[in-house]
Amino acid sequence: MTPVCVAAETVALLAYLAAAVLYPQRLIRPDSRLTRHAHWGLVIGASLQGLGLLAHLGHAGSEALFGQYANASFVFVLLCVGGLLWLEARTERPALGAFLAPVIFLVVLLTLFEAHTQAPVIRNPWFVAHIVLTLLAYACFGAAFCLAAAYLVHDGYLKRKRVERLALLPPLRVADRACHTAVAIGLPLFTLGLAVGAAFLVSVRAPIDAKVVLALVTWLLYAAYLALRLGRGWRGRRLHWILVVAFLVVLLNLVAARHRLELPPPAVAVVSR
Amino acid sequence: MSDQVDVDQRRMHLVAVGLNHRSAPVEVRERLAFGPARLGAALHELRDRPPIAEVAILSTCNRAEIYTAATDAGLGEREVVRFLSEFHELDPAAVEPHLYHLADDGVARHLFRVAAGLDSMILGEGQILAQVKGALQAANEAGTARTLLHELFQRGLHLGKLARSETEIHRGAVSISSAAVDLARTVFGDLRGRQALVVGAGEMSEQTLKHLVDQGVASVVVANRTHQRAVELATRYQGEAITFDDFPAHLVTCDIIISSSAAPHPILTVEKLRGPLAARRGQPLFIVDIAVPRDVEPAVADLEDVYLFDIDDLSTVAQRYRSEREREVTKVEALVEAETARFGAWLEARGSTSLVVELRERVEAMRDAELDRWLRRLPDLEAAEQEVIRQMMRSFANKLLHGPLTAIRRQAGTPRESAQADLVRRLFDLDGGEEEA
C-alpha cells in the first residue's frame, strides 16, 4: 500500500469514528451544536476511503478491483451512507444515523484489519453478480435495521414520556412502513443474489460453509418478517426486533466473508474473460 | 394639488391607540371590537377626521387596535379616542383606562411584536399573522392605507414570517388538546385515514376531537352515557354515535382513543384490552385519558404497543413547549428591534424624499406658470423657438435646485435634518403662507 492510501484510509477511519460517536449523542443531547455535524463524519469518511481505494487501484492495477475484500466493504459502506443521508433528508429526522454510523465504523474497522489482502481472483460473472446483488440487498437491510432500531427507541421514548426527543426520530407508523419498503426491495435482491451464488457454488463444486448457512438464516429471518407482516398483519415492537436480529446476522455474515472461501484449487483458477 | 397630496407631503406621525387581552377584560374588548360588517365604515369615518390621513384597524378576539398616520400626533391620538367612544357609543371615561397610546417608533415596535406573536395570549401563535394581513387588506380595499401604513404593515408581515422561520417561537403544542394531537402524530405521522374513538362527550373531548379532525382523522366514533350527547357530538364531526356499552367492540379497529367520561372508576383496564390487543397484532394504540378521576387503568401503559397519556402528561408536554417558546423571546425581540430601527431609518429618509419632491414641484410649478405667462405675450414665436425657451427654463430651474437638493439629501438622517428642512420650507415658502396671487 502506498503512504497516500494509508493516510487517506486512516483519516477516513477517524472520520467514521467521529460520526459513530457523535450520531448517538444526537439522541442524548439534541441541542448540542457539535452533533448537528455528525453526518459530515460519514461524508468525509466515505470520500477519503474512496480516494484511498482509487490510489491503491492506481498503484496495484485493475487486478486489485476484483480481488480485495476492502472494495466490497467500501461499496457496502457507500450504499449505507448514501441511503442514510437520503433517509434523513426524506424523513427530516436527523438522528437515524445513531444506529447505522457505529455499524459503518465497525465494518470499516474490520476491513482495515485485512486491508488489501488478496482474496481469490474470481472473475466469474455469476460470482460478480452474486456480490453486487448481495451488497445491494445488505444496504436495504441496513436501512431497515436503522429504521427498526429507530422504531424501538422511539417506542421507548413514548413509553417513558421523553417527549422532547420524539422529534429526532420518525413517527412509529412512518418507520414501520419504511422498514417494510426496505425489506420488500432488499429480500428479492438477496434471494436473487443467493440463487446466483448457489449456481456458482454448484458450478465449482464448493462445499457449504458457515457463510452459506448464515446467508440462509438471514433469508429466513427477512422472509419471516414479510410473511408475518403481510400474511398475518403483524405490526409493532416484536416485528421490528426481527429486523434487528436479522441485521446482526448480516453483520456476522460480513465478518464471515473475511474468511476465504474454501474453494478447491481448480475453482480459484476459474477466470471468465 | 389635492388636499390629500398636501397632507402626504407634510411631516407624518404614526399614532396607534388600542386595547388587548392584557389591558382590558373580555367584556370591554367585545364592546370595542370592529366586526367585518362595520370595518369599512369605521375606516372611512376615521380617515375623514383631520389630522388623520391613513387608518388601519386590527380587530381580533384579543385586541382592537387602530393604527393611523397623522400630521399631528397629539391631535391624532385624541381624535382616535373620540372616534372609538363615538363609533361604539360608549362613555370615553369608561374606555380610556383600558387604552394604550403609542407614537412613531413605539407604533412600529408594537405592531412588529404583535405580528411576531410576542403580544399574543398564546406566545408565538400563528393566527395573528393572518389577522395582520387581513387588517392591511381591509385598509387597502377601503383606500385608507397609503404609503406609510402600507410600509409599516408589510414590514410587520415580513418580520412575523422571519420570526417563525428563524426562531422556534411557534414550535410545539401549548394547549392540552393540541399536545394530544402532537403526540398522536409522533405515533402515526400523518393522521389521515386514522380512526378515533371518543368515550365521553365533554368539552375537552370535543376540543381534542376538533384538532384530530382538522388533521384529517378519517372516522370518528362517539360513545357517551347520555346517548343524545354522543349523537350531537358525532353529528358535528360527521361521526358515528354508539351506546356507552358498545365502545369495547371498537377497541380492535380504532387507532386513537380519547377518554373523558365522568366514571368514578377506570372503564378501560388491562383485562378489557387484552383481547382487542391480541386481535390488533401490534398495531399501535394511542390513548389520551383526560378524565379526572382517570378512565384508564395506569397499568395499561405497560402493555406492548399501547401509548397512554393522561391529563398530567399532556399538561407537562404543553408546559414544556411554552417554556421552550419563552426561551425564544429574546431572539425575536432582537429581530423586532432591528426591524424597528430599519423602519425608523426608512421613515427619516422618506421625510427628506418628501421634501425633495415638494421643493422640486414648487419650483417647477413656478417655472411653468411664468413660462405660460411670458409665452402668451409672444404669440409670434415659432414652436421650435418656444421649445428652446422652455428647455432654457428647465435647465435654469434644475441648476438652481441642484445645490439645495444635494444638501437636503446629504443631511438626511443626521441631527441637523429637521432644522435644515424647516429652513428650506421657509426659504421657498413651501407651507404656502405667502402664496402668490
Provide the pLDDT for residue A201. 85
A and B: number of Cβ contacts within 8 A: 57
Cβ neighbours of B144 (radius 10 Å):
25
Residue A270: per-residue pLDDT: 41
Does residue A112 contact residue A13 with C-beta atoms inside 8 Å? yes
Distance from CA of A226 to the nearest CA of B (A): 14
Q: Is B282–A172 a contact, with Cβ atoms under 8 angstroms apart?
A: no
Per-residue pLDDT at B1 exceeds 50: no
Give the pLDDT of residue B81: 92
For chain B, say whether A26 makes contact (Cβ under 8 Å).
Answer: no
- Residue B304: list chain A partners with CB under 8 A: 236-238
Q: pLDDT by residue (tens digit) across A68-125?
A: 566 777 888 888 898 888 888 877 777 888 998 998 898 888 777 665 555 555 667 8
C-alpha to C-alpha distance for A134 and A193, rounded to whole angstroms: 5
How near does any CA of chain B get to the CA of A137, in Å?
A: 26
Q: Confidence class of residue A1 from pLDDT cuts 50, 70 and 90?
A: low
* Cα gap B79→B15, rounded to integer Å: 11
Beta bridge partners of B195: B219
More confident residue, A145 or A264: A145
pTM of the model: 0.66
Q: Phi and psi for A153 in degrees, rounded to 5?
A: -70, -40
The answer to whether the CB atoms of B281 and A154 lie below 8 A apart is no
Q: Please give the pLDDT value at position B276.
A: 94
Least confident of A52-56, A216-220, B13-17: A52-56
Which of A152, A160, A172, A239 should one mutate to test binding to chain B, selecting the residue with the greatest count of B CBs within 10 A? A172
Residues on chain A touching B186 (C-beta within 8 angstroms): 154, 158, 163, 166-167, 171-172
Facing B307 at nearest CB: one of A158, A167, A238 = A158
Percent of chain B with pLDDT over 70: 93
For A163, the closest chain B residue by CA position comes to B317
Tell me what percent of the residues of chain B surpass a pLDDT of 90. 36
pLDDT of residue B287: 96
Q: Which of A171, A233, A239 sits opposite B185 (nearest CB)?
A: A171
Measured between beta carbons, the chain B residues lying within 8 angstroms of A233 are 281
Share of chain A above pLDDT 90, in %: 38
- Under an 8 A CB cutoff, do B189 and A171 touch? yes
Q: Which three cell numbers stand for residue A177?
A: 412502513
- Mean pLDDT across the stretch B128-136? 91
Chain B residues lying within 8 Å of A171, measured CB to CB: 185-189
Helix or strand holding residue B101 (H, E): strand B100-103
Contacts of A40 (CB under 8 A, 6+ apart): A15, A19
The yes-or-no verdict on residue B86 having pLDDT over 70 is yes
Nearest CA in chain B to A167: B186
**CB distance from A237 to chain B under 8 Å?**
yes
Residue B9 has pLDDT above 70, yes or no: no
* Contact state of B304 with A237 under an 8 Å Cβ cutoff: yes
The minimum CA-CA distance between B308 and chain A, rounded to whole Å, is: 8
Inter-chain residue contact A159 with B307, CB threshold 8 Å: yes
Q: A147, A163, A234, A240: which to substitute to probe chain B, counting the most B Cβ within 10 Å? A: A163
List CB contacts (< 8 A) between A90 and chain B.
none
Q: Averaged over B304-324, what is the pLDDT?
A: 86
Tell me the nearest-neighbour CA distance from A242 into chain B, angstroms. 14
Q: Is A246 on the interface with B (CB under 8 A)?
A: no
Lowest mean pLDDT among A35-44, A185-194, A199-208, B53-62: A199-208
Q: What is the mean pLDDT of residues B316-329?
A: 81
C-alpha pair distances (Å), A67 with each of A9, A75, A90, B435: 18, 14, 36, 100
Q: How confident is the model at residue A87, as a pLDDT?
A: 81
On the 0-12 / 13-18 / 19+ scale of CB atoms within 10 A, B4 is: exposed
The average pLDDT across B246-256 equals: 93
Interface test with B, best of A147, A155, A158, A232 (most B CBs within 10 A): A158
pLDDT of residue B121: 77
Q: Scanning every residue of chain B, which has its alpha carbon at the shortest distance from the alpha carbon of A239?
A: B282
Find, among B170, B314, B188, B259, the residue nearest to A161 by Cα.
B314
In Å, how far are A75, A95, A127, A171, B378 from A38, measured between CA atoms?
21, 9, 36, 22, 86
- B5, B41, B61, B249: the catalytic one is B61
Q: What is the rounded average pLDDT of the residues B178-188? A: 90
Nearest CA in chain B to A231: B281
Q: Which of B187, B217, B253 to mutate to test the interface with A (most CBs of A within 10 A)?
A: B187
Q: For all residues of chain B together, what is the average pLDDT?
A: 85
Closest Cα in chain A, distance from residue B261 (Å): 24
- H/E run at residue B240: strand B240-243
Residue of A167, A234, A236 lying closest to B284 (CB–CB): A236
For residue A171, give the nearest of B187, B283, B305 by CB distance.
Answer: B187
Cell 424647516 -> residue: B422
**Option in A164, A173, A234 nearest B320 (CB):** A164
3-state secondary structure of A120: coil
> Does B61 participate in catalysis according to the annotation?
yes
Handedness of CA B39, B40, B43, B44 (dihedral sign): negative
Contact check, Cβ <8 Å, A164/B187: no
Taken as a whole, chain A contains a residue count of 273
Q: Does A262 touch chain B (CB under 8 A)?
A: no
According to DSSP, residue A206 is labeled P
Residue pLDDT, tens place only, B353-383: 667 777 887 888 888 888 888 888 888 888 8
- Candidate from A159, A166, A237 with C-beta closest to B282: A237
Place of cell 474512496: A50
What is the model's pLDDT at position B31?
83
Q: Which of A191-200, A207-216, B171-180 has the lowest mean pLDDT?
A: B171-180
Nearest to A158 among B187, B189, B316 (CB): B187
Q: Out of B186, B283, B309, name the one closest to residue A236 (CB).
A: B283
The reply to whether A231 touches chain B by the CB within 8 Å rule is no
Nearest-by-CA chain B residue for A93: B186
Binary contact (B301, A159; C-beta < 8 A): yes
Give A-chain residues touching B187 at CB under 8 angstroms. 158, 171-173
Alpha-carbon span B45 to A87, nearest angstrom: 58
Predicted confidence band of residue B55 (pLDDT cuts 50, 70, 90): very high
Instruction: Summarize pLDDT for A208-231 with one digit per residue, the tens.
Output: 788 888 999 999 999 999 999 999
